[in-house]
């Protein structure tokens, strides 16, 4: 693997909608980068957002924030894509695929035209499919194309388990894997609270027949629908998730996060992106962590992969 050295701590955000600007706002608050560039089809919107963020600089962390064009991607460490059509009420993430595949083709080609040498992070839905398409269109090594995957689903899962058992979510270790969407699954066999398996901690023999645990997972899986119904879109949670991902890469953390990564034999799956735990550092994905799944979990993961593969095929047709 070629070693990339992060020098500029420069991030380019493509798309200044609610997710892109929530991410930008969180980056300013946490002082993660030295330079932040906003790109949008609506140049005036990008300029307005950059000005607004700059006016908070005295209360945040010193950094350069500006609106720019695709030329700015040339020396960026990360290009984070949040652009695309939004999920509408009643619409699944997978309904979005054809619309966003065409939008992405134009974006990726423009980024690659300026000899981009950094890492792509994709947050637009359906994220697993669009991350796969980003890799196909860009031709970059798989470790340098990452999707936000189930990073937020995993955070929601840990939060709800922590709330239920009255334990700090940071001491709850749990994963949601598979598609970031309706076919995702909880890895009950690896949930731990303070290092103690949940089955032992809570005395649960069968998670699938436990009403409280079933409701927790359903609230994780359907969280986006519940939020969209009430306020129209989700953006704060994923904005913070993207900052966590950014820190892991720019700070060379070798942190384990659940993101959309390309599988090549792991979990018995090949040539597709889906949400799994990975080790992340300044080169992108160092390795995919392969959990030992139960028979049921493995079956659910393969069903999720089938859903993704069908949509990848749809997306590939849309860009050809």
- Whether 5 is covered by a domain: the verdict is no
CA distance 222 to 232: 14
Tell me the pLDDT band of 1, cut-offs 50, 70 and 90.
Answer: very low
Is-contact 11 76, C-beta < 8 A?
yes
Model pLDDT for residues 95-122, shown as the tens digit of each residue: 788 889 999 999 999 999 999 999 999 9
Alpha helices in 206-263 (DSSP H): 211-221, 223-231, 236-250
Q: What is the pLDDT of residues 183-195, one digit of tens each?
A: 999 999 999 999 9
Residues 128 and 164 in one domain: no
Q: Same domain, yes or no, for 250 and 279?
A: yes
Final residue before a domain boundary, out of 102, 119, 147: 147
pLDDT at 94 over 70: no
Does the annotation list 45 as a binding residue?
A: yes
Positions annotated as catalytic residues are 180
Query: Does any domain span residue 66?
Result: yes
- Residues 294, 159 share a domain: yes
220 in a known ligand binding site: no
Reference 144, options 291, 289, 264, 286; nearest CA is 286
Residues 177 and 119 placed together within one structural domain of the fold? no
In a domain, 88, yes or no: yes
Q: What is the pLDDT of residue 4?
A: 52
pLDDT at position 70: 98
Domain check: are 137 and 284 in the same one?
no
Q: Is residue 4 part of a domain?
A: no
Place of tokens 């700090």: 168
Residue 176: name the closest of 156, 199, 162 by CA.
156
Torsion of the alpha carbons at 126, 284, 40 and 181, rounded to the nearest 10: 10
Residue 52, marked binder: no
Residue 154 known to bind ligand: yes
Q: What are phi and psi of 78, to 5 degrees?
A: -130, 140
Residue owning tokens 């992405």: 104
Residues 98 and 59 in one domain: yes
Same domain for 142 and 275: no
Q: Point out the domain boundary residue: 97, 129, 147.
A: 147
Is the backbone peptide bond immediately before 126 cis, with ω within 30 degrees of 0? yes
pLDDT over threshold 50, residue 168: yes
Asked whether residue 125 is marked as a ligand-binding residue, the answer is: yes
Determine the pLDDT at residue 6.
Answer: 46
Residues linked to residue 260 through DSSP beta bridges, in sequence order: 147, 275
Residue 233 and residue 138 in one domain: no
Q: Is 142 annotated as a binding residue?
A: no
Q: Which of 147, 179, 201 is the last residue of a domain?
A: 147
Residue 3 belongs to a domain: no
Contact by Cβ (8 Å): 192, 198: yes
From the list 143, 84, 134, the residue with the least C-alpha distance to 112 is: 134
Crossing angle between the packed helical segments 18-30 and 43-54, to the nearest 10 degrees: 30
Residue numbers of the domain that contains 77: 10-147
| Confidence band of 247 (pLDDT split at 50, 70, 90) | very high
Cα–Cα distance measured from residue 62 to residue 122, given in angstroms and rounded to the nearest whole number? 26
Q: How many domains does the chain have?
A: 2
CATH for 71: 3.40.50.720
Whether 27 and 95 map to the same domain: the answer is yes
Contact 159, 150 (CB under 8 A): no
Judge whether 311 and 301 are in contact, CB under 8 Å: no
Yes or no: say if 186 and 220 are a contact pair by the CB < 8 Å rule.
yes
């Amino acid at each position: 693997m070629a070693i990339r050295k992060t020098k500029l701590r420069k991030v380019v955000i493509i798309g200044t909608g609610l997710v892109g600007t929530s991410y930008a706002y969180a980056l300013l608050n946490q002082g993660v980068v030295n330079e932040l560039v906003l790109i949008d089809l609506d140049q005036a919107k990008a300029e307005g957002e950059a000005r607004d963020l700059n006016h908070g600089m005295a209360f945040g962390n010193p950094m350069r924030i500006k609106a720019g064009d695709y030329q700015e991607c040339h020396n960026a460490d990360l290009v984070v894509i949040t652009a695309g059509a939004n999920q509408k009420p009643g619409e699944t993430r997978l309904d979005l695929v054809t619309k966003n595949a065409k939008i992405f083709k134009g974006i990726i080609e423009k980024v690659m035209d300026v000899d981009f040498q950094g890492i792509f992070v994709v947050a637009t839905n359906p994220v697993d499919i669009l991350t796969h398409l980003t890799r196909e269109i860009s031709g970059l090594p798989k470790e340098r194309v990452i999707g936000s995957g189930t990073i937020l689903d995993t955070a929601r899962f840990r939060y709800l388990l922590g709330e239920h058992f009255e334990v700090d979510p940071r001491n709850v270790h749990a994963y949601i894997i598979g598609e970031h969407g309706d076919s995702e699954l909880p890895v009950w066999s690896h949930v731990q609270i303070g290092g103690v398996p949940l089955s032992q901690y809570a005395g649960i023999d069968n998670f699938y027949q436990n009403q409280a645990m079933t409701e927790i997972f359903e609230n994780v899986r359907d969280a986006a629908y519940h939020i969209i119904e009430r306020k129209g879109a989700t953006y704060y949670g994923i904005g913070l998730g993207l900052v966590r991902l950014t820190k892991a890469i720019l700070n060379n953390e070798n942190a384990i996060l659940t993101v959309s990564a390309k599988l090549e034999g792991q979990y018995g799956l090949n040539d597709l992106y889906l949400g799994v735990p990975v080790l992340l550092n300044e080169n992108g994905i160092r390795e995919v962590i392969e959990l030992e799944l139960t028979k049921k979990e493995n079956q659910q993961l393969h069903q999720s992969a089938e859903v993704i593969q069908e949509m990848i095929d749809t997306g590939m047709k849309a860009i050809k």
